């Protein structure tokens, strides 16, 4: 009894895990119900890893698990639903690279509990086939136009016309998703939902259905569906603009510009929460931006638009043929017989990829085209083989020609198969290479760019301070030159009088030592060596550092020069190790200035003769 109680409590915790994690995200602070619903469903989609499963892969999974042959109102139990989800996620792991594998068991458990809580609230343990198809086709990844095409294939008849009763059933099922994330009062199903989508009861074909669903704005009851796809597209969009409320220097996701306040822009978090500052009000009209364009690009686009180089309005979706396509059963390619309406899952698969660009790695449309080609050739082979068996023996030459054509077709198919395998291998290698990080991707990281700018700024400051210290060293050497000149004058006067230079008075002690003016514009990048700073210094100072000429105070001057050289070497080392911090650099600069002032004081003390 204790074990059964623990299992039931564990199952209850697993059912509530996804909803507890969603509540922890604090989505309820978003004041607009449309954004609040889209953010919650996007969180469920990513948490269950459904965003990695393309709609074409989902359709293929429906067909492989036999859902295409079942009626929409047929019921399946939870164990079969778990089997279907297991096949979907295990096939997903086979397509993903080894570095991006997902936790299959966790994804199955979270998604299964969410679907049961959404579509089996009474606890019968069964879900309808149409509920499973509607939920998975809506919440999976891929383009919204592909999802709507598949949904239309499920709610239309054999002539390609939408059945309003089936569309009403679709709204009942799909609007249970907002209700499951506690947004039922805003987007729950009502009896007037169909009328809000199609106010006029008329013949609805595929293009009309797409026009209504992808309009701006879309139907009110499904306004969260295109917004959820826009959220997925702008999650990694970077805007180098400062938010006018939170003062964040950059934005990720949506960007909102006020149409009344000049230059007032908000990030998506501040706009969703209703923040405003200054003269701006929440009642002002805001324009949503999903990308960033520099002023130069905006100007060029405006000029191109004015000259007619850019089309003013682009259609929201490609125009598809109005005639309904007859689905084919690829399991028996030799027969190629039409199937009933409940097998419309193969319509999109047989029609190939849409006219809009779609990634080859994300959908199996290219492989499906090859499958259809193989099916046609196989049908031709079967038809020609049956005709050849019915031919009379007198027509042997025609049979030989047919066999020759069949061998040629088989050879062409084998060559085509080898090309397909090579293309698959090439695409797999490109996908693995694309998944690896590159320096170009690292350069797009805002954090790395900010750190690089900070390091360059610190390097420029150190180079400027190094130039200033080199100039200070040159000034000190010029002062030493004046000191040597004074000492030389004292020695000459002492030699003339026959006395010691330290015992005879000298009027030159009152002479002022030349003090050159320091340049305030130091070079940002010093290209000269420390020895080049002695350019312009007199020969007396240079002779004071020579080994062969005896001078008074030579040792003192050598000590002063060594101190300055040590200070310069420490600054050069610090320039090459910028990451050590500005604190060490400031300490070295203070030590250098103390040494320079000490040497000046020492030189002035010895330049004054004693009386």
Give 257-293 pLDDT, tens digit per residue: 999 888 898 999 999 988 888 888 888 989 988 887 7
CA distance 97 to 52: 12
Distance of alpha carbon 403 from its chain centroid, rounded? 56
pLDDT of residue 141: 93
- For residue 603, whether the previous peptide bond is cis, meaning omega lies within 30 degrees of 0, is no
pLDDT of residue 347: 42
Beta bridge pairs of residue 258: 286
| Residue 3: pLDDT over 70 | no
Q: For the segment 378-389, what is each residue's pLDDT rounded down to a tens digit?
A: 777 776 666 555
pLDDT of residue 578: 53
Indicate the length of the chain as a whole number. 611
| Residue 240: pLDDT over 70 | yes
Of the listed ranges 123-132, 138-147, 322-331, 437-446, the least confidently predicted one is 322-331
CB atoms within 10 A of CB 516: 11
Tokens of 399: 């049979």
- Per-residue pLDDT band for 540 (boundaries 50, 70, 90) equals low
pLDDT of residue 525: 43
| Residue 447: pLDDT over 90 | no
| Residue 564: pLDDT over 80 | no
Q: How far apart are the first and last CA of the chain?
A: 112
Long-range contacts of 290-296 (CB under 8 A, 24+ apart): 290/230, 290/233, 290/234, 290/237, 290/254, 290/255, 291/234, 291/237, 292/237, 292/238, 292/239, 292/240, 292/241, 292/255
Residue 189: C-alpha distances to residues 32, 35, 73, 76, 443 (Å): 19, 18, 19, 24, 47
Of the listed ranges 425-439, 457-471, 482-496, the least confidently predicted one is 425-439
Tokens of 174: 């799909």
pLDDT of residue 439: 56
Q: For the segment 290-306, what is each residue's pLDDT rounded down to a tens digit?
A: 887 766 565 565 566 55
- Per-residue pLDDT band for 415 (boundaries 50, 70, 90) equals confident
pLDDT of residue 399: 53
Mean pLDDT of 423-428: 87
pLDDT of residue 490: 81
Q: For the segment 80-102, what is each residue's pLDDT rounded down to a tens digit?
A: 999 999 999 999 999 999 999 99
CA distance 244 to 437: 34
Question: How many helices (H) and strands (E) would you count in the chain?
Answer: 23, 7
The owner of tokens 């990720």 is 252
pLDDT of residue 337: 39
Of all residues in the chain, what percent carry a pLDDT higher than 90? 29
- Per-residue pLDDT band for 157 (boundaries 50, 70, 90) equals very high
Q: Are strands 251-252 and 238-239 parallel, antiparallel or unpaired?
A: antiparallel
The overall longest dimension of the chain from CA atoms, in Å, is 147
């Amino acid at each position: 009894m204790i074990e059964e109680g623990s299992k039931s409590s564990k199952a209850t915790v697993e059912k509530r895990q996804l909803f507890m994690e969603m509540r922890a995200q604090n989505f309820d602070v978003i004041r607009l119900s449309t954004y609040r619903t889209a953010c919650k469903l996007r969180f469920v989609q990513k948490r269950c890893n459904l965003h990695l499963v393309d709609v074409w892969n989902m359709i293929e999974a429906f067909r492989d698990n036999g859902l295409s042959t079942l009626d929409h109102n047929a019921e399946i139990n939870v164990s079969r639903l778990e089997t279907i989800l297991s096949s979907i996620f295990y096939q997903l792991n086979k397509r993903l690279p080894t570095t991006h594998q997902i936790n299959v068991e966790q994804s199955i458990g979270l998604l299964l509990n969410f679907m049961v809580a959404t579509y089996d609230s009474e606890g019968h343990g069964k879900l309808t086939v149409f509920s499973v198809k509607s939920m998975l086709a809506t919440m999976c990844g891929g383009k919204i136009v592909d999802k709507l095409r598949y949904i239309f294939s499920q709610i239309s008849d054999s002539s390609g016309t939408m059945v309003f009763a089936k569309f009403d059933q679709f709204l009942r099922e799909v609007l249970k998703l907002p209700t499951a994330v506690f947004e039922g009062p805003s987007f729950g199903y009502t009896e007037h939902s169909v009328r809000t989508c199609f106010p006029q009861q008329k013949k609805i074909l595929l293009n009309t259905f797409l026009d209504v669903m992808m309009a701006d704005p879309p139907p009110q009851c499904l306004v969260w569906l295109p917004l959820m796809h826009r959220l997925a597209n702008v999650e990694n969009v970077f805007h180098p603009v400062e938010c006018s409320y939170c003062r964040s220097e950059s934005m990720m996701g949506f960007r909102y510009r006020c149409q009344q306040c000049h230059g007032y822009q908000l990030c998506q978090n501040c706009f969703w929460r209703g923040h405003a500052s200054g003269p701006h009000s929440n009642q002002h009209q805001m324009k949503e931006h999903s990308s960033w364009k520099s002023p130069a690009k905006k100007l060029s686009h405006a000029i191109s638009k004015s000259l007619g180089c850019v089309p003013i309005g682009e259609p929201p979706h490609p125009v598809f043929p109005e005639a309904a396509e007859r689905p084919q059963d690829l399991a028996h390619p030799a027969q190629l017989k039409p199937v009933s309406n409940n097998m419309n899952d193969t319509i999109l698969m047989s029609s190939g990829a849409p006219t809009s660009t779609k990634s080859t790695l994300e959908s199996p449309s290219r492989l499906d085209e090859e499958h259809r080609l193989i099916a046609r050739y196989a049908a031709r082979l079967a038809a020609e083989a049956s005709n050849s068996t019915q031919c009379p023996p007198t027509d042997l030459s025609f049979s030989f020609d047919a066999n020759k054509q069949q061998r040629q077709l088989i050879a062409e198919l084998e060559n085509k198969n080898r090309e397909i395998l090579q293309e698959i291998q090439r695409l797999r290698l490109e996908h693995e290479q694309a998944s690896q990080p590159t320096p170009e991707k690292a350069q797009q990281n805002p954090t790395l760019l900010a750190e690089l700018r900070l390091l360059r700024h610190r390097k420029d400051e150190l180079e400027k301070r190094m130039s200033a210290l080199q100039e200070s060293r040159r000034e000190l050497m010029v002062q030493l030159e004046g000191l040597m000149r004074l000492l030389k004058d004292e020695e000459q006067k002492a030699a003339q009088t026959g006395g010691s230079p330290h015992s005879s008075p000298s009027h030159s002690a009152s002479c002022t030592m030349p003090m050159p003016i320091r340049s305030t514009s130091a070079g940002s990048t010093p290209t000269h060596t420390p020895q080049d700073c002695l350019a312009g210094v007199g020969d007396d100072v240079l002779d004071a550092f020579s080994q062969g000429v005896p001078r008074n105070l030579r040792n003192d001057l050598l000590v002063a020069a060594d101190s300055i050289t040590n200070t310069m070497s420490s600054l050069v080392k610090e320039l090459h190790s910028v990451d050590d911090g500005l604190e060490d650099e400031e300490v070295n600069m203070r030590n250098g200035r103390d040494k320079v002032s000490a040497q000046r004081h020492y030189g002035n003390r010895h330049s004054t003769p004693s009386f």
